[in-house]
Chains A and B, each alone.
Chain A
Amino acid sequence: MNPNYLDFEQPIADLEAKIEELRLVGDDNELNIEEEISKLQAKSRTLTKSLFSDLSEWQISQIARHPQRPYTLDYVDMIFDEFEEIHGDRHFSDDRALIGGIARLEGRPVMVIGHQKGREVKEKVRRNFGMPRPEGYRKALRLMEMAERFKMPILTFIDTPGAYPGIDAEERGQSEAIAFNLAAMSRLNTPIVATVVGEGGSGGALAIGVCDELMMLQYSTYSVISPEGCASILWKSADRAPDAAKAMGLTSDRLHAQGLVDQIIDEPLGGAHRDHALMAANLKKHLMETLERLSDIEPDELIERRYQRLMSYGISQ
């Protein structure tokens, strides 16, 4: 088993391993190896295409959490020209599960805010698996209000299993921190673009997700509760997570069809983790186009439009 591949990707992993093997042999044997390799590569592409053309909601949930998937700071590196990270909520601490700072997008100053997961064990713990505490949300709010003062658009990147369910988080007002952000973001006088890049886990995601334009990467997810959480409550067994994922319809295409998501950003063949640079380039293009469009809207109209958008959720018109 190759840990860089998900269960359902194993046939691709096997092919890739064979290609790698042939390459090694190829060094001391010129016999048609190149031809064999390109044949296998074509086969791998076809296989990936067919596997990815019919993914279940549960498989997509797994891709959204893929350990090799690009995280917020990866995108920051690849998309922005400059980035100055800003730390702390100025009250309690600096939450490393939620990062933010001032950046330039093709020369234009913007405020970047996003959940941050870690890749290695130590880093995962340091980033608390991308689950912010109240101070993370309060730092985010501080940066968003700063962005409003300096007339910078806000770009948020959502990738969290949810807000941290811990004793300390409760003691410091996890609920209040999330609620306060939801209210404040509804009236911030600057464009807000939110992109779900991985897991959009419930209130912990929405707390940086109130926006003028909501985009989702093709294989990201956004839901009111994790499939496991939903399954253990409604089916009384976390093993029914695939059923819960399906019932909730947490994928970009289903949410787009319901009118909850504005844009779906295509991922490279096999998912964002197979080609970080290509994914970042595509995301950057969408961010620039969207910002350009939103910048043409008068500030008052922008806030009214955002408000009406929130009010339209849920009740059939």
Chain B
Amino acid sequence: MSNWLDKIVPSLVRSEKKRTNIPEGLWEKCPKCESVLYRPELEKNLNVCPKCDHHMRLTARVRLNAFLDEGTLREIGAEIEPVDHLKFRDTKKYKDRLVAAQKATGEKDALIAMRGEVKGLPVVAVAFEFRFMGGSMGAVVGERFVRAANIALEEGVPMICFAASGGARMQEALFSLMQMAKTSAALERLKQAGVPYISVLTDPVYGGVSASLAMLGDLNIGEPGALVGFAGPRVIEQTVREKLPEGFQRSEFLLEHGQIDMIISRGDLRDRISSVLRMMQGLPVA
């Protein structure tokens, strides 16, 4: 799997090797500005470097806990577990990869879905767990996403998605491709019903997730510096045989090219999303 991650994540953002010089536990080096940061402080700042504003990745659960009001979270579809229908095997069995990912992350699959409130506003929120097989979308991700969307539709509450994914999960072959159509169809029902859907693009979002649920927001919001695209930089470089432009596929690049609506720093997401949702729903200022 690591080679696959290399493809979509430039060396800038990887830090395993650099980290070895720092004692385990309390200290963490910012992969961008290399400042040594006190971990509890960094976590309090939602993994955003206080020195250079570099947005590091968050786990899905930490993300949702931070975004939703404390004590309001109720999980959706936690009981749905992955099944290896195809008995897929590459250099390892898919079944073994699943077990390893479950052990490493404590999650059953790569999407966590919750009901909850943001500053008192009832919402449904989902987040991709990038550490789980690169946040890849298979049948469980698709099903949990759709169940969350259906609750949003039935109850008329907005849906927010925090995407972080390398794309469709190859080990589920065509089933994973079909999750693109499945999730997009569910979002189309929200759109027809006038239920707001906000897509927050966090580093990184590629392939089948980018080309479906992640780009269908009433608002598509980028976190600063997030890499977002259809094809990975290496694939494009091999195809066009030229150097990619500076900042290619970063949120700032997407904003300039009219592909996303705005960039919001992680610390401001709660305030700004809840405010704009209230306007979309015709509610008074909180």
Contact = CB atoms under 8 A, between A and B. Distances in A.
Interface of B is mostly: helix
Given A203-B177, A248-B170, A171 B257 contact: yes
B181 A186 contact: yes
B257 A223 contact: no
Contact of B185 (A166, A178, A182): A182
A203 B192 contact: no
Interface string B124-146: 00000000000000111011001
A167 B178 contact: no
- Chain B CB count within 10 A is highest, among A165, A247, A311, for A165
B268 to A, nearest CB: 24
A114 B180 CA distance: 20
Contacts of B186: 311
Interface residues of A, number: 54
B230 A224 contact: no
B236 A165 contact: yes
A182 B180 contact: yes
B85 interface: yes
Nearest to B245: A167
A225 B177 CA distance: 9
Contacts of A264: none
Nearest to A244: B90
B87 to A, nearest CB: 9
B181 A175 contact: no
Contact of A310 (B170, B185, B211): B185
Given A235-B91, A248-B173, A179 B184 contact: yes
15 contacts: A166-B240, A167-B244, A173-B259, A175-B230, A178-B211, A187-B185, A202-B177, A203-B208, A223-B174, A224-B176, A250-B173, A260-B174, A260-B175, A310-B185, A311-B182
A170 B228 CA distance: 10
B193 to A, nearest CB: 12
Interface in A213-229: 222-225, 229
B83 A170 contact: no
Contact of A233 (B170, B181, B187): B170
Contacts of B138: 314
Contacts of A235: 90-91
Contacts of B248: 167, 170
B184 A183 contact: yes
Interface string A169-200: 11111111011101111110000000000000
Contacts of A207: 211
Given A173-B215, A179-B211, 10 more contacts: A166-B236, A170-B229, A173-B257, A182-B184, A207-B211, A233-B3, A247-B90, A260-B178, A314-B142, A314-B178
B210 interface: yes
B180 A203 contact: yes
Contacts of B216: 179-180, 183
- Chain B CB count within 10 A is highest, among A183, A186, A255, for A183
B182 A247 contact: no
Given A170-B229, A170-B236, A247-B90, A182 B181 contact: yes
Nearest to A240: B90
A206 interface: yes
Interface string B94-108: 000000000000000
A180 B142 CA distance: 17
A169 B180 contact: no
Given A225-B168, A234-B90, A179 B213 contact: yes
Contacts of A169: 230-231
Contacts of B177: 202-203, 206, 223-224
Contact of A316 (B83, B212, B258): B83
A247 B7 CA distance: 22
* 5 nearest A-B residue pairs (beta carbon): A314-B139, A165-B231, A186-B185, A182-B184, A234-B90
Interface string A226-253: 0001100111100000011001111000
A242 to B, nearest CB: 13
A230 B258 CA distance: 31
Contacts of B242: 167
A148 to B, nearest CB: 14
A287 B97 CA distance: 42
A281 to B, nearest CB: 28
Contacts of A249: 86, 173-174
Given A165-B235, A170-B229, A314 B188 contact: no
B214 interface: yes
A223 B174 CA distance: 5
A258 interface: yes
Interface string B155-194: 0000000000000101011111111111011111101100
Nearest to B188: A183
- Chain B CB count within 10 A is highest, among A178, A203, A224, A316, for A224
Interface in B75-94: 80, 83, 85-86, 88-91
Given A165-B236, A234-B91, A313-B175, A176 B259 contact: yes
B239 interface: yes
A182 B216 CA distance: 10
Nearest to A243: B90
Given A203-B211, A314-B182, A224 B170 contact: yes
B212 A313 contact: no
A315 B77 CA distance: 12
A52 interface: no
